[in-house]
Amino acid sequence: MTSGGAVNFDYLFKYIIIGDAAVGKSNLLLRYAHGQFKAEYQLTIGVEFGAKNVEIRNKIYRVQIWDTAGQESFRSITRAYYKNSVCALVVYDISSRDSFNNVSTWIEDCKNQSPSTIYMVLVGNKKDLDDRRQVTTEEGQELADKFGMQFYETSAKTGENVENIFIDSADVIAKKIDENYYDLENDSCGIKQGVNRASGNNNNARRLDEQQNQSRPKSSCCLKWNPLVLIILLNIK
């Protein structure tokens, strides 16, 4: 179950989305965090993030998703973008063989630059474009198996399977926390412990989002994700 409000939470997870330009990364974020889809292609400007809460077994996990600043077009995503992430969604477009062929490079890049504990998920997006499909579901699954990743085919357009990525991955990460897999004292694992929800301080989620925003890659411009910024960004031609 998910909810959009900035309430207190038990843990904050930092997710990143990587993959070739135009595979639908920004729209997956838009769909998940705001339930929207944008048909026109707009280059992502500035590092953006959306956040939404996932409730699992009576705990609230705030999943904060960071989107690239169009750097993927130049294959120049910096270490700063990868750092302090608990989960990476590696996205390709099922109607683009090229984007699928590049997945292994993205995975290697992620492995080289992220914390060793990073949890990676493979996402074949644009499932609704079945008539233009260039990559079969079996090929996607095979690649995911090769790298030991969870695999989903999604559509940011229809919303199919999008929420499941986040619910399932948050569940896996929550279980790993219970197994002491992460060093929670160290921010680099991509997890921040939340405040005691019983304390009733509703400003904490926002404060932590702001802290994260201040620590974002220095190359990005000074934009904090909010619906107004999103509307402005999506209208920049």
Q: Which residues bind Mg ion (CB under 5 A)?
A: 25-26, 44
Phi and psi, residue 56, nearest 5°: -135, 125
Strands 48-56 and 2-3: antiparallel
Among the listed ranges 25-33, 45-53, 76-84, 223-231, the one in contact with ligand GDP (CB under 6 A) is: 25-33
160-198: b or e for each residue (b if 16 or more CB lie within 10 Å)? ebbbebbebbbeebbebbeeeebeeeeeebbbbebbeee
| Binds ligand GDP (CB under 6 A): choice among 7, 21, 56, 234 | 21
Q: Does 44 bind ligand GDP (CB under 6 A)?
A: yes
Q: Does 8 bind ligand GDP (CB under 6 A)?
A: no
Site string for ligand GDP, 130-159 (x = CB under 6 A): -------------------------xxx--
CA distance 12 to 209: 9
Nearest distance, CB of residue 158 and ligand GDP, angstroms: 7
CB of 7 within 8 A of CB of 205?
yes
Cβ contacts of 228 within 8 Å, gap of 6 or more: none
- Pick the closer one to ligand GDP by CB: 108 or 130: 130
CB of 92 within 8 A of CB of 23?
yes
Q: Does 125 bind ligand GDP (CB under 6 A)?
A: yes
- Pick the closer one to ligand GDP by CB: 128 or 168: 128
Q: Which of 108, 180, 94 lies closest to 140, judged by CA?
A: 94
Q: Does 94 bind ligand GDP (CB under 6 A)?
A: no
Task: Answer with the entry of ligand GDP, Mg ion, none that 90 interacts with (C-beta below 5 to 8 A by kind).
Answer: none
Among the listed ranges 40-48, 116-124, 163-171, 229-237, the one in contact with ligand GDP (CB under 6 A) is: 40-48
Q: Which of 103, 67, 111, 83 lies closest to 233, judged by CA?
A: 67
Question: How many chain residues bind ligand GDP (CB under 6 A)?
Answer: 19
Binding footprint of ligand GDP on the chain (CB under 6 A) = 21-27, 38-41, 44, 125-126, 128-129, 155-157
